[in-house]
Structure 1
Amino acid sequence: MRSDEWLSSSLRCRSVAWSGAHMAAEFRPPVFPGVHELLKLVLTLRKRPPFLPRVSDMAVHGDIPLPLIRLVGPEESVHGFLRGFRDVLEKAEPRTPYVFLDAATAVLASTAASEPPKLILLEQLCQRLQEDRFSARPNSFRRYRVAKFLTRQTLTPSRNRDPQSEIVALLRKWRGQSPSIQEAAQTQVSAQGDSGFSTLGLSGALWFVRLLILKWLGRRSYGIVPEARWFMRRQTYMVPEHSSDFFGFAERLTAGRLDEQNAGQLHKLLVHAFLEDLRQAYRRRRLSVLPRRRGWRRTAYVPVLIDHASEENGGLPLLRLINDVRNETGKVDPLLVIAGCRDEPGTPDAGTEIDRPEEVPLFAPASATAYSTWKRELPVQRQKLAADARFLTIHLPEPLRPEAIARTSGEDPDAWADLDLDPGKPSRLARRGVLEVILVGCLVAVAALPAARLQDFWQAGCSYLRAKTSAGIDVRLAEIAPGDKQCVGYSDNDGQIFGTNDRLAAAQREIFRLNAEAARIHDTHRNRPLISIIYFGGLTHAGADLETDIAVAEELIGLAIVQRQQNISVTGEDDPLLRVIIANGGREMAAADRVTRDVLIPLVERDASIKAVVGLDRTVKQTRLAIADLGRAAVPTIGTTLTGSGLADISKFYFQMVSGNPQQAKLLAGYLNHLKDPAVHLLTIVRPERSDPPDDYIESLVTEVEKAAESLTAVEVEVIDLSDENALKPCTKPDPRASGERRMYFYAGRETGYSSFLQNIKEDCAVQALPRIVADDAIERIVAQPSFRQQSFVSEMNLDYVALGSLVVLAGRSCAAERSPAAPLSDKGPLVEFCAGYYDLINDEASELNGEAWAVPSYPGERVGIAFDAADMVVTAARKAGPGAWNRAWLAQLFRDREFAYVGASGRITFAESRVGASRNTAILRLPTPASAQEAANTAPRCLFLIGDLYGTEGAAPQESNGCPKD
């Protein structure tokens, strides 16, 4: 009988004899001096330190290096302690992974007799840890399994041209795929067997696929990419650099090539792979940052109990392999090995010396001291790669007999009772469902912000999604007042329509249609320059505001007329094309300064085609700031209906299409002086209550009118607030100074208070006793609303108001209905051109403003003509500049030139003397009382008094004594 067979037989007989001697009695764990300290140490080491400890918890955080504990002593003590600890772990809740392995019987029971015993034990460990009897199995040990699988395979010569096809087939087999897949792909013959061209094409296609997929991806597929990366890049055993890729390294692991490899390196590779799989199962972070919940839930290390460990059965060699791998890699793993030896082991390996003085054996009562000494010496010993650096040897004494246990004091007699096996609860974040709830909550919170923002955009009519994809749209929400968020910014296409009024929306769509037409023509006729202007106004308002959308729509219609003439009617080779960008400053231009600073100026700086900003809507503080900012950016700014004082002083690039408040005051004074039968003796200026901040337009208008009227000796002047009810009852409480037509009310306010003002006067006076009433230019906004003129109290009154573009209004219904202005202006060339364009726009079937929904109004609005003139003036300047590129600052210089005078539909304008239209014609118009409420919408105004230049000397027109055009 061989010596190894005799040893195995003797160990088996001894184990069976020992078991038979104790089968009759119930097994009880041994009690020996120090058993409590040993159990305490083992349980402490089993408990995994938390990743983020509390202050009162353990002094360390994260994983710690674990010793390889060797228990040396009598078999009753060693075997009994390991079996007793096994039984305790088996009953623990939750049941955490552990292994109890009898090295002697495990090796004998193995079928792999040709393998070294230490590898047989390693395989047994892997199998036991994968058994389905724990609350959470570690994992499938993929790295170890693929390496072990390859060591048991033998490569056969390849029948294919690809020398690596066999190892690829083996890897497919390990993964569970059929090895014939690749062979079929590589040996498949084309159905067009006789076609050289088809064969060549198929071969080329297969070669390209192979190059792209196999070479480009490094042939790291077949489901083993993480494992292949680890073998080749993150471990050093068997020198992976000696292989060109993982397939070559895998070939070296097969059975036919193992004779060429270093056996020690192979054994360490297998152990390292096994420990790495455990590390990956217990790791608590992904990508060094993200938490890994499964690892956080593992609060106990993996105890491995190896009984009867010896040199012959591979128990001690396996421990030394683990020791060497831990020393050489420096990595921490969750394996807590407790091995039982009958006698003190000798030298670990032949030819290996341990440079350490002989020490006194440490027994179980000194377990804590032994561990502390081991932990202190570990850094030095592992640096030396000492063969026993990871070993912690503890000697166990003989077990105490029952009578001796009864006489023993201290904690040893009850050491096995009431053991604290709870490794601690995992972090709340690692518990099942908690992270999902938090993640869902975070996603809801994150999604709630865009959802709430999207809802705000939707409620404000703001195109949130289209604005992100269109370069011609830049919109945002602006809180005009508490709870009033409006969509402000700019748009040059129908992806964003501002406002809610149907006519206003139709006007915008028509401009955007003509923008698209301009872009299309410019693409095919590059010699025609594309110029752009920005229309800037207040296109949105809260629902409670008085609607003035028709007035804004009129200005857009005026711009559309010029666009249509330039982009469709005009076909000149060098004639400019016009693009209009619509910008919204919010209700009453409350966000004009923000839009200018944050949106418009950046747009102008990157788009050289933009030549001017027109509109500006109304004279408020925010508009003044916008004009100043545009001036500093050297952008010509053309106010269409602004009349506030001092605007030209804000910017050298500001120009005004209409006369200002000083001229309006001069107009009123001239009208008062003109009235003779009867003459006006009392002028009552009605203004709204002062606001904070003050309204620049109202303040300057009241000041200018009061100053101009006081120069009239026959007229007494007073200023009252709109809230003064007594002053607004001229008939029930007549003023002794004047009554009836000898008293004139001048309404100096915004359009919002005009209706209530008229209604108060109308309710107090009979029609024949009404005083004279003249309103400022601001109420033109509300006069443009047909619904306003159809109100019963309005239809019974004459409406006198200041008109800044009176000549366009006097063109009458025939302008839009018959394509020519009414007499006496029917021969004025600029007005004729305007009416023709107006007619063509609303009668073009392709126009958004064509159809019964947009019935021809009784007269063209003055804002249509003023905006038309502003855009046409820019186009006229562009014609002078020619087709070449020109800077917008040149436009401002041209306007100020003495030789530049523009004659448009609303009259002649020049900026040589004044940039605020000081010489522009201004009139007082009367919208007369209609014959019935139904005809109120078709009533056209007539001229009462007019001052200023009409069409210049080249288009001189006869005038009445009141300055109005003469038939």
Structure 2
Amino acid sequence: MSGRQVGTRFLEGEGADEFMAAFKRAVVPADRRAAARDVLPPVVLLAEGGESGEGDGGGEDPGGRAHRAMRGLERCLRRERGGKLVPYAALGAAEAARAVRGRRPLTLAVGQRLCEDVPPRTGRLRLPDFQLMRDVVECALEQGPGAQSLTGEQMRDRCYEGRRRRSPVLRALWQLGGGDPPTVQSPAQGPGWLALALAAVARPAFQVLPRWWWARRCTRRLLWSGTTGWFADWRGSGHGRRSEEFFESAAQLVELPAPEGERQDESEAGHGPEGEEWLSTVEQLLLRALLADLKATAGPGRVSPWRRRRATRFTVLLELGADGGSGDPAARFLSAYGTAAEELECAATVVVATGPAGVVVPGERCARLSDAATALDHATGAPEGGLEPLLAPLVPLPPGVRSGTAPRSGPVSPRDFRMGPVAEVVLEGVALVAVLGVLGAWLIPMTMGGEDESCLGGASGGPLSGRAELGATPPRQQYEAAALMIEEENKRVDEAVLRRGAEARTVVHIGAEVAKDQEGQRYNGAVPELRGIALAQRALNDEARNDSQKVWLRVRMLNGGEGYKDAERRARQVVEEAGRKGSGIIGVVAFSQSLKQTQAAVRELGRAKIPMVGTTATADAMNVSPYYRRVAPTNSREARIEADFAHRGNIMDGGSGGCSPAEAAVVVQDPADLYSKEIGNFFAEQFGGDWSKLEYSPGGRSGGASESGAPGAGGNRVTHEDSIKDVADAVCERIKAQPRTVLYWASRAREFTAFLDVFGDDTSCEGRKLTVLGGNELTTAALSGEYEARPWLRLYHTAHVLPAGHPRGSDVTQEFNAEYAAAFGAKDLWRNDGRAALAHDAMQLMAAAANEAFASTGDVERSNVQISLDNGISKEGASGYLDFGRGAKVSRDKPLVILHHTAKGSEPVLFCGSFAQNTGRVERWGPKGEFACPKDG
């Protein structure tokens, strides 16, 4: 895209070019989904004072250089001859001064600027929540301090008047209803019977009813909804139908404080402590409304060609005052922004402020501009520790250096569409008509033949995988045998180093405590994970023996304790060992479970910049460090596929030989368990419609359990149960009320066994059909026959690999299955579970990064290994194709399998994802392939 060159000399300091590049990547992300996923911290550029001299930085005061920096950033967001390239709002000292004089929050000006002069071909920016809250605040300002408080009805009427002025439809309805009521200045005209008719019919139909419906929608959206009810979350009032309307709460919230004392008149209201508190409150109100709207608007749409062109973030540029105190509108905006963006998880905005170095702004100080650039590039997800500003210095140029020389970077470059949106709509309409015609010709004959009611997976099953054997060998002995394989391989590495001078490095494995008894193996993945690592280490060292450009690998085994209680302590131990000279540690392969303990360990290792590859931990919340990747599919992907499976698949057995999709869902989750709480919430969100949640924490663990609540919008509700018997009774009541209810088990497998023992004998649902959909947590127990002898149970559960011998498996998968069978037996309990394959692939991914670093630089240090991981790695794996693009934390389209549990074994009824690079991509599922697999993101 053509445009005048804008130099980076308006940014002075070490790393200015890196910061400009990171700023542009943040405004125009390469991955369009980043604007809906990666929350960016605000950046404050502080101009330090300079010495007098000839350069631009020498004689210029810090405030002037801060202003020049903000205007330079603004020029990067505009075209050469005017017009915006991206939606942004730039507010300098003049706007801040107007906000102070008018006692108005700065967010009002930010929202107005974003709506003005929007980039072409992106459509009008609609901000319904922000416009509503703006009307609420304007009503309070018009009312004035110390005036009589507005009632909920008065606030509703005034806000509806503002909404009516912006809507041609509402204005037309208002006129059909008789217009504004007559006043002394404009008395009513016409015969009395016409006025009576208008009052009796037209006014209720065209004025009262639309206003009532609009107010009800506002209350439902902001107070009752669990997805858009940010106002209720902020006020801590909870969700659900209640007597209090939104406008009653808003009128009380924004009421202006009365002036104190007789010497303070109305013009001084808003400048005292109570006025500053009021301004802070309404700033938070308006900012949350604005961020909620921008979050819903951000990202390209799939239908609207205008929304499709919105591939950039919304940018806010601010200029701080000289002191940056509480009275500075820009500082108040920054203070409110951090909390609001974190709570709303709004990734749609980029905020940059400039000011002199003396301003008082709390935040994380960066030594250089390049440090702030790195933080922007590696921002992922929504931070849990707070969204504090990044404070970066603007260091003045040395004397004799002019700021206008050698321009280095031009404007941002969003994607330019060749075709206009109107032309695209016309083409889409023509294509839609053609597609509908083809679909109609295909669907009409199919619907004539009747609806398919065959049960997905068959009535009695047709398993492709045989029954697994629990085995007689004690768990500790199996674990020690796998550990012995690794120790022998470590000795082999030491011999290669001594005899050949081979290059060798160490990978640390932090594993879970092995099961204490034979029965505990059904619920414990410590043994297969260690086996997968042992097999991978042996294969990788065989490759290194034959190729001098590959690295030999040792494995350092650490025990994370029962339930990973020692995971964080082990992480600190790894950090200490890695810091010693000559340790050889290049990374960590670990974490088979998503727990708060393992999440804390990831943070600890990430702070030390140690690369990590997770094995079977699936929670999205584990991604708390840019140094962490995982080979298992995420909870969000799994829940999306499972919800689609429940909605479309014939899984509900009606008892008459036929099946149908689920019409309702009840989710059982443990709020104290990171994995359970997250995947349960994801499934309920993706399932939509009629769902309810039952929260149960074994042993009375606390974890933010919800109180029993009344049904919310759509009949959905969350209740907390005190025992597994209460859970079984509650599930039974849901099924009796709606027989086509699927039970989604998000809790752990051990509790599921206890639930089945109670449900079949001790509830009023004895003999009723029960359809259960569960995650990979249930797979090992199901494959071992734990849930047999229950003819009333229809169980579907997920796995991360296809059963051994399935024709869709790649050559690498079949080779791994053969090696595993040769080492541990063809009927081993974990051969079809996937834990060993995922651990094998995690080790392979770490080795691929080490080999890439060795081949390209000859230096196998942790930093080079991390660079290789960041650059992206793709290779065939035992669990499917590993496709890590540049900066990706999860493999693209990671395979997921849903198995139907039968007495003879488990059969796959759905498998989606990339099982091999060329021929192994599965995009449809169903008996006839009639359903499309849900995509990532």
Q: Same fold (TM over 0.5)?
A: no
Q: What TM-score does the superposition give when structure 1 sets the normalisation length?
A: 0.40
Tell me which structure has the larger Cα radius of gyration. 1
Q: Normalised by the size of structure 2, how large is the TM-score?
A: 0.41
The structure, 1 or 2, with the larger RCO (C-alpha pairs under 8 Å, 6+ apart) is: 2
